[in-house]
Structure 1
Amino acid sequence: INTGIYILEPEVLDYYEYGQNFDFSKDLFPRLLHDGVPIYGYITEEYWCDVGDLDTYIETHVDILSNKNKHYLLGGGQEKGLWIDKGAIIEKGAKLSPPVYIGRNSIIKEGAIIEPYSVIGDNCFIGEGTSIKRSIIWDNVRISKNCEIRKSTICNHVWIGERSRIFEGVAIGSHSKIFSNVTIKPNIKIWPHKTIEENVKVKDNLIWEEKASRKLFGYRNISGRFNETITPEIATRLGTSFASVVNAKGTYIVSCDEHNLSKSIKSSIISGILSTGSEAVDIKDSTIPMCRFGVKHFKADGGVHIRTDNAHEDMVYIEFINNEGSNIQKDMERKIENSFILEDFKRCSGNQIKDVVNIYNFSSIYLKSGVGDIKNIEKIRAKKPKIIITSYSKNISDLAERYLMDIGCQVKVIPYWKGLEAKDIRSLVLDESGDLGVIYSENGEKVVLTDGFNIVKDEKYYLLSLLIGFKTGNIKDIVVPYNFPRIMEKLAQEYQGDTIYSKSHISNIIETILKNELNFQYILNFDGIWAVGKIMDYLVENNIVLNQVLQELPEYFYFKKEIPCNWDDKGKVIRRLTEDRQLDTELKEGVRFTDDKGWALIIPDEEKPRFNLFIEGYNEEYAEELWVKYDEKIKKILKD
């Protein structure tokens, strides 16, 4: 049997020609014996095992860990069946069941469970609540929280997201990225440099296929974990790609929130922009509406805004803005992605690098412009309405407080706490006899309103903004996302206005609003700080409260649902739905069905393996019937 290690003289290689099918045991050894060439064998007492497959590879580690005569292969440092190398950190609450080997500088977090016959290489990170059983983890592997690894082999430089499950016989090649909530079925092989989207179940080997690869852009931005999927090196390349594609000699606004993590990524993006010969204007402690305002204020070629996520540790979001102040379109995303992947960059020489333009007080310019747009500022200052505000972002709370105080409001800022909900602010407004409560979104774009009785958010807030626009005369026509309630069109008809439908992607909505010069609608829906000022301006001018305006909103029956699916099922479902379409079916975005009970819109999610189902019925019962009908229809197609 051809097993073992061979030591050959170079002349032996003359026995075969290049490209010839030649086997040692069947071809070479018989010829050597025929020619009288001596062949020697060496009998060893050392440990020997043929590791021709993953099972024997793992069992070899079991042999070494369980047999005292082979422990010398592991080096020193053994204590009660635990080999823990220099610099390794085992946090209190981590459970290690011997025999186990932990490599140097590796970190095992609290609550992690390392079961017998597991090997963790050098510079690894094992997150809280993760369980590893009888597996071999190579070097520089990061496994996030609450994962399950069962009798698997994980090669170098692999990153595994939270709540992922990897079963027996799996091998994951080097430099692969496995996103959150992934399940890899038994005996699957993932070749190197592969990326698997979150919520995916992998049932087949991933060798050449790109189907599990993650797109660079998501619904509206590029997102990932700091120093894992979004590193300073990646951020630099993104900055270079953006400037190379848009205008290599242009001017770009770069802003971020107040967190050091965001500032680190911002610095890298600025470096990439400068490397093309472009100019970078650095706006400090900003919001996405401020970045858009800055692009137009400085007549820049585009902008980039970076923010973090208080709800998810180390998450980074990067948004790209065009010269009109809107999020970039899909075709521009593809161009940036191609430039990024192919490294098709435009570079400048060293003497063409420009200084960074640092703007430290741009928030004052932004807030002053917003204050100047309030018509009834003296009435507001005389009335001194009391407003209670909060935000995930302290920076946004501070900016909103400055703005509202400048227009004459009394402001109470509530520090955000984990689990805070709109009903908590509603109770505070009622208890303290406030005029309005506001929750600002983390990026400063959206708001949730309450007057102590009502909670206004999402499509209801959008409807409110349109009503105020019509009643003030600031808008005549409206832009409505394709997936929003059609009751908005009826509202426009009441005020002799036209409805312009846009696709539901944020870049399409903002671009359509700006193209039609609907600045009032833009402010109320995409600049939360200025929006609250506009709403207070209207309420004070007409000496009314929010509840009175809400009473004028037309009744509607609308809701959104999510239907999980596999990534590969999306095309099949849409194809089957379009095959069944009748005359009352639209294909502008997803598939929209209309009947005498209302309408249903099915759109595949861009970022996750699911369908988004939007329903509007002529009454609540009809809406529920439509939901049941299309939920069952989609699930039946998924089962077929």
Structure 2
Amino acid sequence: MKSVIMAGGEGTRLRPLTCNIPKPMVPVVNKPVMEHIIELLRKYNLTDIAVTLQYLPNIIKNYFSDGREFDVNLRYYVEDKPMGTAGSVKNAEDFLDDTFVVISGDALTDIDLKKAIDFHFSKKSMATLVLKKVEIPLEYGVVVTDEDGRITRFLEKPSWGEVFSDTVNTGIYILSPEVLKYYNKNEIFDFSKDLFPLLLRQDKPMYGYISDDYWCDIGDLKAYSQAHQDILEKRVKVSIPGKEIEDGVWVGENCIIDDGASIEGPCIIGTNTKVKKGAVIGKFSVLGENNIIGERSGIKRSILWRNTILENNVQLRGTVICDKVKLKQNVSCFENSVVGDSTIIKENAIVKPNIKIWPDKIVEEGTEVSSNLVWGSKFIRSIFGFRGMAGEINVDITPEYASKLGAAYGSLFKGKGKIAVGSDESNPAKMLKISFIAGLISAGLKVLDFEVLHLPVMRSAVRFYGVDGGIHISTSSKNIGKLKIDFIDKNGSNIDRNTERKIETMFQREDFSRCEGRSIKEVEVIPDYTKFYIRNIINNVKSEKLDFKIALNSPSESILKCVTDLLTSLGCSIEKVNIDIGYGNKEVNSKNREYFAKMVSMGDFDLGVSIEETSEKMMLVDNRGRIVTDDMFTALISLIMFRTVEGGTVVVPVSTSHVIEQLADANNGKVIRTKTSHQDLMNKILTIDVKEQVYDQFILNFDAIAGIVKILDFMKINNYSLSDLVEMIPDIHIYEKEVECSWNDKGKVIRQIIQENESESIETLEGVKIFKDGGWVLVLPDAEQPVCRIKSESFSAEFAEELTNTFVNKVREISKS
């Protein structure tokens, strides 16, 4: 006789176990479940086997090859699309020239196939179904037989109200080749839904053989774990790899079990696995090949696949760990949790019960994972990055994610308050805005929907309407799938880090309340706030007319139109251009900037301005074609502030040129240094004592639309050209470079640099800033990437570059040590 193994299953209910492998390849006691089926067939001399494949077929082919290594002969039949159980077997019709057995490649069983086959022939049956009595038959096909074993009724996956038997179809059949003539090739056809009911209607001889042997459909994660327990308790007869060194303890070749490690059976320890001293392998644990179990780690009722590393004091309780997972010190995973392939869970993280983590994820240090991690590359303690949050639409940030995050943010206000919400004109941003609104109103808040507006306009709206906070969603014009979300406080600033942490805690613990249905408030739509914002800018201009000729660049058509209309109404002559100066290839961007600068100087423009797509930042080019760099721009607006308010105060990041202090000295001003993040700079500006300066300085830093008008107005009032202002700024010699530095090395790098430079003047406001040789160097670990940024300033460009390169090499040296 021949046989067919149906091995096309995708195993969606077993995910994340089946994200990277087909269901028949899921390991059960350290060998694929399909290998147990092949061993069962071989036991009954059924060695000529057809294998039907569909999902990830090459993984099965590569493992089993032609079957010779397993003492069987395998032929493969691959479907391009699912054809149903009977449809897949039809592909092997030419091979199946006599009575044959069909069996699933993803069930665990030791059913006596000889008894079933003998029963089939004794009844002269056309189709015999192997049946099994189960307590809960809802997930199976229910079958009723008469006293002679002839099948009289079928029902696939009944509800409790439809259950008429506890005898179910195991998916194991003995069939006459004649049944294959009842349907056509390339026809989607199922045994239990189509073929068997057809044979029943035609009164063909069809019987059910009820077996008392073990059978388990490994359909979900609970069944997967139960199958292992059943094997270890010897309820099912299968071959377990390794040597049974004592009752119920199987150990593979080349295992190293240190003195002081505790092993309690029944359990399995796979080949080449190392168990270190103080580790405890408890009952019903199954460890695959090439695993390392660290000191004091404890494993109970858990399943580890292959090539996994558990560092010291990792605790697993009833969990499944897939291939190539790394669990760092003090990680804990609890009942019914699953960790997918190639995931890294960092120190002190906790995976709560019933949590599933999909493959290739990173769980950051100290994180408590309380919801499934499916999308995105990370589950991190910090949802927020250097500035707000960013991610891929429908990958990192889904509508469900946004709604939940909106509810977490809304929970800060304890059911009372108003929140403003707005977005740019892109469809992804509008979609996510709806999700955020749903989350906010579910927390009992009143939501003001400002529809489409730019981020600085949103900040103005938050202040003007006196709301308690806001959310703005925007996308990149170069990559509309990339999303940026800004959470705003009542002052229009990005929320501070403390507020971010509160949101993160509520979000990850799902520790937020939902209001009663009757407390849901209507969303108030406020259209066209941008018109009021523009009118307010015009009303605050002190000059009668701003008659400048300006080259205006932006990647955003809406910004080009808005700023052109504004400046034209104030008397300016505008020429619009669209040159990419801020994205993609740095070399191309540099050439484009030079082209823009040359265009300004040769076109007899008073200045050029390029406004980024969020409309927060601008780049200026003076009438002589000189590009105003970031450090020069900070110096420029500081100069304007000092000249506008005598003895005024400016706030600048720690990474900015110390030319600012020279300008302050010359104008009787004061400088406050702050951290480099947007939110730190914003919050520090909004808390300086000289209140009349607050919003002017805020606008010049974070509102390019209103900011360019303020700069033009200052130039007009004082009869300055932009080149005049640039000339007032002392020479700036700064050199900046980025160097790779892993997350784990950042702390070590900063500590060692501080220790090596104790004799120098040092600041540690952010990173470490060392003052030496009349200049300074800042070593700043990046908040979002595994790099450090090295920035130096000195009396010459050459010395600044040399100083930066010295510390780049120092960071590399410390990282490698």
- Normalising by structure 1, we get a TM-score of 0.70
Mean Cα deviation higher: 269-278 or 238-247: 238-247
SS of corresponding position for 2:453: coil
- Could you tell me how far apart the structure 2 residues matched to 1:447 and 1:407 are? 19
- Could you tell me how far apart the structure 1 residues matched to 2:358 and 2:80 are? 32
Which of 749, 763, 767 does residue 573 from structure 1 map onto? Answer: 749
Structure 2 partner of 1:440: 611
1:596 partner amino acid: D
Flag the 1:68–1:386 CA change in 2: closer, same or farther, 3 A.
farther
1:398 partner amino acid: K
1:70 partner amino acid: R
Given that 2:392 and 2:482 are in contact with CA atoms closer than 8 Å, whether structure 1 keeps it comes out as yes
Given that 1:244 and 1:276 are in contact with CA atoms closer than 8 Å, whether structure 2 keeps it comes out as yes
Structure 2 partner of 1:388: 551
Which of 401, 423, 428 does residue 564 from structure 2 map onto? Answer: 401
- Could you tell me how far apart the structure 2 residues matched to 1:74 and 1:68 are? 20
Given that 2:420 and 2:450 are in contact with CA atoms closer than 8 Å, whether structure 1 keeps it comes out as yes
Which of 423, 429, 432 does residue 594 from structure 2 map onto? Answer: 423
1:174-573, aligned counterparts within 5 Å?
Answer: 192-193=357-358, 196=361, 213-214=379-380, 215-376=382-543, 378-380=544-546, 384-416=547-579, 421-452=592-623, 453-473=625-645, 476-516=648-688, 517=691, 518-573=694-749
SS of corresponding position for 1:438: strand
Deviation at 1:346, TM superposition (A): 2.0
Deviation at 1:63, TM superposition (A): 4.9
Q: Deviations over 1:341-398 (max 9, x none)?
A: 111112111222112111211001111111122111x132xxx322221212222222
- Could you tell me how far apart the structure 2 residues matched to 1:554 and 1:616 are? 13
Given that 1:475 and 1:521 are in contact with CA atoms closer than 8 Å, whether structure 2 keeps it comes out as no
Deviation at 1:171, TM superposition (A): 8.2
SS of corresponding position for 1:258: coil
- Could you tell me how far apart the structure 2 residues matched to 1:296 and 1:455 are? 33
- Could you tell me how far apart the structure 2 residues matched to 1:76 and 1:271 are? 39
Given that 1:248 and 1:278 are in contact with CA atoms closer than 8 Å, whether structure 2 keeps it comes out as yes
Flag the 1:277–1:46 CA change in 2: closer, same or farther, 3 A.
farther
1:627 partner amino acid: T
- Could you tell me how far apart the structure 2 residues matched to 1:497 and 1:374 are? 24
- Could you tell me how far apart the structure 1 residues matched to 2:548 and 2:806 are? 48
Deviation at 1:291, TM superposition (A): 1.3
Given that 1:422 and 1:448 are in contact with CA atoms closer than 8 Å, whether structure 2 keeps it comes out as no
Given that 1:240 and 1:276 are in contact with CA atoms closer than 8 Å, whether structure 2 keeps it comes out as yes
Deviation at 1:176, TM superposition (A): 7.6
2:534 partner amino acid: L
2:677 partner amino acid: H
SS of corresponding position for 2:452: coil
2:499 partner amino acid: M
Flag the 1:274–1:557 CA change in 2: closer, same or farther, 3 A.
same
- Could you tell me how far apart the structure 2 residues matched to 1:541 and 1:618 are? 34
1:393 partner amino acid: S
Count of aligned pairs: 483
Flag the 1:319–1:58 CA change in 2: closer, same or farther, 3 A.
farther
2:495 partner amino acid: I
1:379 partner amino acid: K
1:471 partner amino acid: R
Give aligned-pair identity as a percent: 31
Given that 2:735 and 2:797 are in contact with CA atoms closer than 8 Å, whether structure 1 keeps it comes out as no
Given that 1:257 and 1:395 are in contact with CA atoms closer than 8 Å, whether structure 2 keeps it comes out as no
- Could you tell me how far apart the structure 2 residues matched to 1:76 and 1:254 are? 45
Structure 2 partner of 1:150: none
SS of corresponding position for 2:633: helix
- Could you tell me how far apart the structure 1 residues matched to 2:500 and 2:646 are? 33
Given that 1:447 and 1:457 are in contact with CA atoms closer than 8 Å, whether structure 2 keeps it comes out as no
SS of corresponding position for 1:243: helix
Given that 1:216 and 1:337 are in contact with CA atoms closer than 8 Å, whether structure 2 keeps it comes out as yes
Given that 1:400 and 1:529 are in contact with CA atoms closer than 8 Å, whether structure 2 keeps it comes out as yes
Structure 1 partner of 2:63: 60
SS of corresponding position for 2:739: strand
- Normalising by structure 2, we get a TM-score of 0.55
Mean Cα deviation higher: 618-627 or 493-502: 618-627
- Could you tell me how far apart the structure 2 residues matched to 1:58 and 1:77 are? 18
- Could you tell me how far apart the structure 1 residues matched to 2:341 and 2:656 are? 39
- Structure 1 unaligned regions, length at least 5: 6-23, 25-39, 50-54, 84-168, 180-190, 199-207
Flag the 1:63–1:299 CA change in 2: closer, same or farther, 3 A.
farther
Given that 1:328 and 1:507 are in contact with CA atoms closer than 8 Å, whether structure 2 keeps it comes out as yes
- Structure 2 unaligned regions, length at least 5: 6-28, 30-41, 52-57, 89-322, 327-337, 345-355, 364-372
SS of corresponding position for 1:307: strand
Deviation at 1:57, TM superposition (A): 5.5
RMSD value, Cα: 3.3
Mean Cα deviation higher: 411-420 or 553-562: 411-420
Given that 1:557 and 1:623 are in contact with CA atoms closer than 8 Å, whether structure 2 keeps it comes out as yes
- Higher-strand-fraction structure: 2
SS of corresponding position for 1:311: coil
Flag the 1:560–1:351 CA change in 2: closer, same or farther, 3 A.
same
Given that 2:65 and 2:74 are in contact with CA atoms closer than 8 Å, whether structure 1 keeps it comes out as no
Given that 1:600 and 1:614 are in contact with CA atoms closer than 8 Å, whether structure 2 keeps it comes out as yes
Matched, 1:609 2:786: yes
Flag the 1:556–1:76 CA change in 2: closer, same or farther, 3 A.
closer
SS of corresponding position for 1:550: helix
Deviation at 1:502, TM superposition (A): 1.1
Given that 1:253 and 1:282 are in contact with CA atoms closer than 8 Å, whether structure 2 keeps it comes out as yes
- Could you tell me how far apart the structure 2 residues matched to 1:367 and 1:394 are? 17
Given that 1:307 and 1:318 are in contact with CA atoms closer than 8 Å, whether structure 2 keeps it comes out as yes
1:496 partner amino acid: N
1:423 partner amino acid: E
Flag the 1:61–1:228 CA change in 2: closer, same or farther, 3 A.
farther
- Could you tell me how far apart the structure 1 residues matched to 2:646 and 2:702 are? 16
